[in-house]
Amino acid sequence: MSDRNAPIRTVAVIGAGPVGLAAAAHLLERGLTPIVLETGDGPAAAIRQWGHVRLFSPWRFDIDAAARRLLDSHGWTAPDPDGLPTGDELVDAYLAPLAKTPEIAAHLRYGTRVLAVARLGVDKTRTVGREGRPYLVRTRNAAGEWADLVVDAVIDASGTWGRPNPLGAHGLAAPGEDRDAPWAAGPLPDVLGTERNRFAGKRTLVVGMGHSAANTLLNLANLAEQEPGTAVTWAIRGDSPTRLYGGGSADALPARGTIGTRVRALVEAGAIELVTGFTIDRFETRPHGSVSVAGNVGGVERVIEADQVAAATGFRPDLEMIREIRLELDATVEAPAKLAPLIDPNFHSCGTVPPHGEADLAQPDEGFYLVGMKSYGRAPTFLLATGYEQVRSLAAALAGDRAAADKVELELPETGVCSSSRSLEATSIAEAREAGCCTTADAGCGDTPKAGSSCGTAAPEPVVIGARGLATGVLHGYSGERIELKQTGGCCG
C-alpha cells in the first residue's frame, strides 16, 4: 500500500548532461537524494559526440547557479566568463569536475541505461490506489544485467540526441534510409578534425535548416577551400532559407548572429549549392558506398549524388521508455501539454519562451517530470537556461517549497530580428571574416545558458542572461497566471 503523505526523499535523474547534473545539484541543496543514471561511461556522453563544436554563448551563461556553488565549495577555478567553449571544453572544464564532486559522485551510476519507468505495482490502466505510489525504474548495465530501482520521484533529463528525425518525407524514413549506411554521416560530423579524410575531396549533402546544418555547412566550405574536389550541397524542404539566415548583427550573442550571414555569403558566392523545396523519396546505396538521393522539387524528380549525407533534421523524444507513465503531451510537438503552446515552432519560431517551472511540467502521475531538451519534444529551440530554471523549480516543489517553485524567472538574450530587412542584407565572405567569425558555431541543442536557483531558501535568485535592448512584456500562461518577462521579438532557432 502507498503512503500518500510520505515526503519525497529519493529522486531518479535520468541523464548526466548539463540539466541532469544541475538537477542533482539543486536536489542536494534541498536535502533530497538524487540517483543519476547515465548510459555513457562519463558525464554528458551525448555532448562528447559533438565535442568539436563551439557554443555561441560565453561561459558566463553556461553554468548553473547551484552547480557553481557546489564547485566553488571545492575550490573550482571557473573558466574565463567571456570565452566560448566547445562541447568538449564544456565537459572537461565544468561538467566533469561537477560530476566528480563527492556530493554528486556518490549518486552517479554510469553505464546504466533506463529501459522503462512505471508506478510500483500497477500498470498504466490502474487508477484505484495509484496516487502516491513510488516509481520503479528498470535499468540495464553495460554487462547486460537488469536491475530495478524504486524511488519517490523521477526527473527525465535524457534528452533527444539519440533519436534523430528521419530524412524522408511525411515524418517517416524514406526507402533505403539507414543510419548505419556508409554514407550516413550523422548530424554534426567532425569535418575539420577526426573525420577530415572522410569528407576531403568528396561530395557531401547536408539536409536541414537549423544551426546544426549551418555549422556543418560552414566547416565543409572551409574544408573545400583547402581540399580540391570537396563539394557541398545543401537541401531544404522549405522554399527559402531566410529563417536560418536569421538576425545577423541584431543578435545579442555575436557568435550566433554571424552564422546565418556567413552561410548566406557562401551560398551567394557559389561555395555551397542550395536546393530548395527538396523532398526526399528514396536512397539508393551504390556498390562503392556513395548514395543517390532521389526526391522532387515542385513535382519534378531531382537526384543528388553524394558520398556523404549529414542529417541535420532535428530530433524527437524517446517515449517508449515511459509508456507506463500517465502523461499529458501535446499532440503536435510531444512536449508537456502546458508548455507546448509556448514553444510550438509553427507559431513560435521568433520571440522568447516565457519562464516555466514545475507547474507547467507536472504530469498526471505526480512526481514524474520531463525536463531539458526532452521537455521540448520535437520543438527545436531549447536553451540550457530554461532547463536550469526548470530543475530549480522542480527541486523546490519536490522539497515542499511551493512558493519558490512557482516563482520562476528567466531573461533571455535578444536573438535577432527574423523578418527584418536587416537579416537579409548581403554579406560577402570577406566581410564575414572581417567581422571576426569563428569556424564553428552552434551545438544545435542546449547552448545559451545560465540559470538561477533558490540557494535552498524560499527566495529564488533571478535568472539574468545578457539581455540588452529588451522591452518589458506580459504573457498569460495556460495556468491562468500572469507572468512577467522580458520579450525580445527575436528568433529562437
Residue 202 sits at φ, ψ, to 5 deg, of -115, 170
Cα angle value 303/306/310 (rounded, 5°): 110
Task: Report the pLDDT value the prediction gives residue 119, as an integer from 0 to 100.
Answer: 97
Contacts of 407 (CB under 8 A, 6+ apart): 460
Query: Looking at residues 328-349, what average pLDDT do you find?
Result: 87
Identify the band that residue 253 occupies on the pLDDT scale cut at 50, 70 and 90: low
Task: Report the pLDDT value the prediction gives residue 210, as an integer from 0 to 100.
Answer: 85
With contact defined as beta carbons under 8 Å apart, do 156 and 17 qualify? Answer: no
Confirm whether 80 is domain-assigned: yes
Query: Looking at residues 194-203, what average pLDDT do you find?
Result: 97
User: Do both 175 and 240 map to the same domain?
Assistant: yes
Task: Report the pLDDT value the prediction gives residue 380, as an integer from 0 to 100.
Answer: 82
Query: Of 411, 403, 415, 409, nearest to 356 (Cα)?
Result: 409
Confirm whether 430 is domain-assigned: no
**Residues 261-288 pLDDT 10s:** 899 999 999 999 999 999 999 999 999 9
Confirm whether 376 is domain-assigned: yes
Task: Report the pLDDT value the prediction gives residue 453, as an integer from 0 to 100.
Answer: 27
Question: Which CATH number characterizes residue 235's domain?
Answer: 3.50.50.60
Cα angle value 247/249/250 (rounded, 5°): 55
User: Do both 74 and 129 map to the same domain?
Assistant: yes
Of 166-180, 257-271, 326-340, the poorest mean pLDDT is in 257-271
User: Do both 188 and 332 map to the same domain?
Assistant: no
Q: Could you please report the per-residue DSSP string of 27-54?
A: HHHTT-EEEEE-SSSSTTHHHHTTTTSB
Identify the band that residue 352 occupies on the pLDDT scale cut at 50, 70 and 90: low
Task: Report the pLDDT value the prediction gives residue 245, as an integer from 0 to 100.
Answer: 80
Q: Is the pLDDT confidence value at 86 over 70?
A: yes
Q: Which residue has the higher pLDDT, 278 or 6?
A: 278
Task: Report the pLDDT value the prediction gives residue 348, as an integer from 0 to 100.
Answer: 59
Query: Looking at residues 248-257, what average pLDDT do you find?
Result: 54
Total number of domains constituting the chain = 2
Of 5-19, 356-370, 383-397, 400-414, the poorest mean pLDDT is in 400-414
**What is the rounded CA–CA span in Å between residue 28 and residue 282?**
50
- Give the chain's mean pLDDT: 82
Task: Report the pLDDT value the prediction gives residue 252, as an integer from 0 to 100.
Answer: 52
- What single DSSP character describes residue 482? E
With contact defined as beta carbons under 8 Å apart, do 410 and 342 qualify? Answer: no
Last residue of a domain, one of 311, 329, 350: 311
Last residue of a domain, one of 311, 328, 358: 311
User: Do both 244 and 268 map to the same domain?
Assistant: yes
Q: Is the pLDDT confidence value at 461 over 90?
A: no
Whole domain around residue 110: which residue ranges? 10-162+315-413+448-487
pTM: 0.81
Task: Report the pLDDT value the prediction gives residue 346, as an integer from 0 to 100.
Answer: 77
Hey, which residues does 303 pair with through a beta bridge?
A: 294
**Residues 367-388 pLDDT 10s:** 999 999 999 999 887 888 889 9
CA atoms within 13 A on the CB side of 171: 5
